[in-house]
Structure 1
Amino acid sequence: MKLSHSFIFAAVIFLMMSSCKKETQDNQKTNDVSSISTEETLKNSQPLSEEFKAYWFANAAEITSYTLEQARYGEIREGSAVLVFVTEPFLKDEQVKADLSSSTNIPVLKLNATKNFYTGIYPYSIMQSVFYPLANNQHALKISCSVQEWCGHVYTQLNNRSEFEVTSHSYFEGEADENFNLGKTILESELWTQLRINPESLPIGDLEIIPSFEFLRLRHVPFKAYAASAELLSGTYKITYPDLNRSLSINFNPQFPFNITSWEESFISGYGDNAKALTTKATQLKSIKSDYWNKTTNDDFKLRESLGLN
């Protein structure tokens, strides 16, 4: 069905690009939803199609669940993964979500990617966040990654300023507290959001790429760019890292909205005699559009069931 110009205009004017709510001092929830005006959207981003605006500026996030087969310690673990894509206004200097609408805000497509699985008795919880501007061929403005398990937790954050500013904290010796800068280059994590905006803009050929923070932290690999090659086929984007014995294939719908249907990541898992080449796989289970930040009551739990998440 063709959308009218008035509908699109209203959708953009009342665009609510929010993630979650803040708590006030009296412990009451307030709706932390901001809007981006038509003027600032056009000023601070690439030209966006009416189709794009209708899908992404509708006061709802796209939430997709996946069955997960995760390689860890030389074995495949069953679990779940969730990709949450949502647009929101971003403050360039502070590098956080904007609370108020302003012509200086940068519209971004945010990805919150989570994984949950068990290694024997104890659980793993991984989350990566990407804030990518709604413009082609620009780097993410901010990326963060946290990994929690019973041995401890690690956190890494990259801020895109004059250089890539990286802060990392870990309970492992040699990784405890680090602050360093890197020259700007392609970030693997940003490619997932770039794909959702325009897969034809994805870089191909021989490249230098900083791998996902999840991989770098779990494998205790030096945090830097590595030689890689990338190819874009119909519905598949593949990256290969020869020096890391690793490859990543992201499968997606070649038609808008370019939703990600599955992915595979092959690498050496385990240590010593237990090390072997294994492949992590994630396959789409369910997908919904929802203003999840407003779905906080016990009655809203059924939405998790609709995603196949228990």
Structure 2
Amino acid sequence: MKKSLTILFLIATISFSCSKAPQRENINFEEWGKYWFQGKAEISSFDLEQYRYGEAREGEAVLIFVTEDFSRKKQVKLDNPEEAGKDKISVLKMNQTRDFVTGIYPYHMMLSAFTPIKEKSQGLKFTSSVQEWCGQSFTQLNLNGEDSYSGKLFSYFEKEGDQSISLTGLAEDDLWNLIRISPNEIPIGSVMMFPSLFYQRFSHQELAAEEAFIRVQDISNDRKQLELTYSSGARVLKIDFEKEFPHEIMAWEESQTKSNGQKEVTKARRKAVKVLDYWTRNEVEDEFLREELKLKE
């Protein structure tokens, strides 16, 4: 097993060096690869306080980070990466889930972000889905230029219906992966950014980029905080993460100020973390791992 992981790391390193695209700099990818190319995912569970319909709801969030071989053309996970040639690109994938209840009915939400690891590129693809008793919706954005995206929104609401999306700018949902790749990759200062796909689903506003300001500051001896503030003042995102590699995410907070001046704050605090190949842990006897992650039934 150890030999196969070494071979996997060497293949990834070679593919990085052969790429002609602009590369991320000042990152120790040997250290990086020992953690992220071990054939496992990092899973973190969080206590969630999600604001919805003017009230705070108790819930649970999960962050799953894992590396994948991705298709440049199709922007999907490759079935046979060894046969893909130059079409293969290594990405860091984040899956974020949120589960909470509003009154009698539950919300199930999932967001995915796919960001090139070595190549200095914006996220290649972002998707989000929301399921609740009223219906469901799905959004997908694909990078089709240096900083331009095209996509689709499918919603059960008549006003939204099925629509095409086209926009330019940085994606808020990319920031989570940039923290994990290297905090040095976070764009500091003034940027043109469009908000999270989750926020778009909650607000039902047209997805568009606006001026925003990003800063990263120390909040303790061992933690930093990314703070993203939109110029409209309607949204502020704060993500707390560890200073030292692998820069684990410990908490986050989202503040939304509505048109009537009401402020709603969503918070998440980490409960547990494990690194494992969860896709092979699908037997009944593996359910004890949920207890170790402090996941609710």
Regarding TM over 0.5, the answer is yes
- Of 147, 154, 158, which aligns to 1:169? 154
Instruction: Quote the offset at 1:172 in angstroms.
Output: 1.2
Q: Deviations over 1:161-212 (max 9, x none)?
A: 13411110101122110113222x2100011101101102211212210100
Q: Which moved more, 1:84-93 or 1:40-49?
A: 40-49
- Matched with 1:131 is 114
What aligned pairs does 1:1-310 form with structure 2 within 5 A after superposition?
A: 10-14=4-8, 37-44=12-19, 46=24, 48-100=28-80, 101=82, 102-104=84-86, 105-135=88-118, 137-162=120-145, 163-183=148-168, 185-234=169-218, 235-268=224-257, 276-310=262-296
Structure-2 separation of matches of 1:194 and 1:136: 12
Aligned length: 280
Uncovered stretches (5+) of structure 2, i.e. residues with no partner: 219-223
Structure-2 separation of matches of 1:174 and 1:242: 27
**Conserved? CA contact 2:16–2:118, under 8 Å:** no
Task: Give the secondary structure class of the aligned counterpart of 1:195.
Answer: helix
Task: Give the secondary structure class of the aligned counterpart of 1:117.
Answer: strand
Percent of pairs with identical residues: 40
Instruction: Quote the offset at 1:129 in angstroms.
Output: 0.4
Structure-1 separation of matches of 2:165 and 2:277: 37
Structure-1 separation of matches of 2:6 and 2:28: 11
Instruction: Quote the offset at 1:136 in angstroms.
Output: 5.9
TM-score of the superposed pair, with normalisation by structure 1:
0.85
Instruction: Quote the offset at 1:251 in angstroms.
Output: 0.3
CA RMSD of aligned residues (A): 2.0
Structure-2 separation of matches of 1:36 and 1:109: 16
Instruction: Quote the offset at 1:261 in angstroms.
Output: 0.4
Distance 1:222 1:197, change over 3 A: same
Instruction: Quote the offset at 1:14 in angstroms.
Output: 3.3
Q: Deviations over 1:121-157 (max 9, x none)?
A: 0000110000100136411111000011101111100
TM-score of the superposed pair, with normalisation by structure 2:
0.89
Structure-2 separation of matches of 1:265 and 1:142: 22
Structure-2 separation of matches of 1:293 and 1:151: 31
Q: Which runs of 4+ in 1 moved over 3 A?
A: 35-38, 44-48
Amino acid of the structure 2 residue aligned with 1:207:
V
